[in-house]
Structure 1
């Protein structure tokens, strides 16, 4: 869809549906906001120049409609069987209410639709799907979540699937998808540890994802082998791109290490260190395939071509400033925020 009034309209209704869900004081109002959000995003996904968007939008609509219908059925059933809209804080209630919301957000093992939908979208829609579309389901999950075996299973499954699933991928969209699933497990764990901790994690994750997608969109890159030829006047952009990827993986000197540091510190103070050990090990697996991409691109397969295409330097300069601010200030911000926290 081109930049026209229809796109502005659908973006406005998408954001309004998000705010309706967040500010609603009843589950029916929250469900209504989710539906407005869904029906606003479907037209934004459609692009007549890309044949894959039709399949992706149909898959996304079917999965989200299924999850919304399950959520509506659960809300109506529980409001009839129990007192009106007052759910008891039990493991069964939390599990039943969280399942359709976890499906909407793409948490493992309910993630089967996420990689295929991401593969057929443009970079701008990929950013919306990985960040904005997850706010409302995660906010609703935070209302009902409590520490039980089901939530721990979801957390461990998301972290393991997100780490192992992106191991042999060559598509950058799928790598970011499985990274998103891995980060989703960390966010759900952050919900258990503190009321606002997952918001800090989600904010930093969204900023790093935005920085990466801005570079990918400006350079029109979709696969790993295309990153090998980013050289000459774009060497700085190439360095900052992979620094941002390493930051997203959680390498300590960068900004992406901050939310994981906060979650690990809180876990060691509150829960068993066994779960935190599994999460750290799986995070190292994700960091490994980011390091593998960076190593091969910089050292093994780095070459200078005799001619290059001209690019929009103003756009790249703004990206350089954005990425460098996110990546180089990570250690300072981590020390500052952890001291305050």
Structure 2
């Protein structure tokens, strides 16, 4: 995982305000560009861009929190990839029509996608909430 390794090794020498500004831009770009996609590969690519932005925002102030966010993201993304591979899904339309084949697997798939989005009762909300708390604690509320 080269991007997170490079960011961890250089986190002490980076300007926190610049890194946070770039992280916010990355998060916004990844979310905005992923909105109109139907192919699962593109959705997950833009999700990766967005999540790397969240990790970049955390790494300047709390590298351990960035690692937590990274580990949770890898776990959730692996579950999504395994599900997509098992159901042979390439588009969201085929994911919606595969409920009859494996309803439990598809229910878990949808919950994992919602967790990646950061829906509050799910696991993906935790790192985003902790990162927002850390940014607030560091006085980055105008960002």
Equivalent residue of 1:251, what SS?
A: coil
- Counterpart of 2:47? 179
Q: Which has the higher contact order (CA 8 A, sep 6+)?
A: 2
Deviations 1:81-138 (A, max 9, x none): xxxxxxxxxxxxxxxxxxxxxxxxxxxxxxxxxxxxxxxxxxxxxxxxxxx3434333
Note closer, same or farther for the CA distance 1:174–1:233 as it changes in structure 2 (3 Å cut).
closer
Shift of 1:155: 1.3
Instruction: Indicate whether 1:144 and 2:7 are aligned.
Output: no
Alignment pair present for 1:274 and 2:142:
yes
Gaps of 5+ in 1: 1-131, 276-341
Aligned to 1:229: 97
Q: Is the 8 A contact 2:24 2:54 kept in 1?
A: no
Which secondary structure state, in structure 2, belongs to the residue aligned with residue 255 of structure 1? coil
In structure 2, stretches of 5+ residues that fail to align are none
Cα distance, 1:139–1:147 mapped onto 2, change above 3 Å: closer
In the alignment, the residues of structure 1 paired with residue 27 and residue 100 of structure 2 have an alpha-carbon distance, to the nearest angstrom, of 37
In 2, the alpha carbon distance for the partners of 1:135 and 1:273 equals 24
Q: CA RMSD in A?
A: 1.5
The separation in 2 between residues aligned to 1:170 and 1:207, in whole angstroms, is: 23
Instruction: Check the 8 A contact 2:115/2:123 in 1, yes or no.
Output: yes
**What CA distance in whole angstroms lies between the structure 1 residues aligned with 2:129 and 2:21?**
22
Q: Across the two proteins, how many residue pairs are aligned to each other?
A: 143
Distance in 2, matches of 1:181 and 1:204, equals 15
Picking from 116, 119, 124, the partner of 1:251 is 119
* Residues 135 and 269 (structure 1), Cα distance of their counterparts in 2 relative to 1, 3 Å cut: closer
TM-score (normalizing by structure 1): 0.40
- Cα displacement string for residues 6-59 of structure 1 (whole angstroms, at most 9, x for unaligned residues): xxxxxxxxxxxxxxxxxxxxxxxxxxxxxxxxxxxxxxxxxxxxxxxxxxxxxx
- After TM superposition, the score normalised by the length of structure 2 is 0.91
Q: Give, in whole Å, the separation in 2 of the partners of 1:156 and 1:168.
A: 20
Residue aligning to 1:217: 85
Q: Distance in 2 between matches of 1:160 and 1:141?
A: 23
Work out the CA distance in 2 between the residues paired with 1:162 and 1:221. Answer: 22
Which protein is bigger by CA-based radius of gyration? 1
Distance of 1:178 and 1:141 partners within structure 2: 24
Q: Per-residue deviation at 1:270? A: 1.4
**Residue 195 of structure 1: how far off its partner (Å):** 2.8
Q: What is the SS of the residue equivalent to 2:35?
A: coil
Q: Distance between the aligned counterparts of 2:10 and 2:73, measured in 1?
A: 18
CA distance in 1, matches of 2:95, 2:67: 32
Q: Deviations over 1:263-301 (max 9, x none)?
A: 1111221123232xxxxxxxxxxxxxxxxxxxxxxxxxx
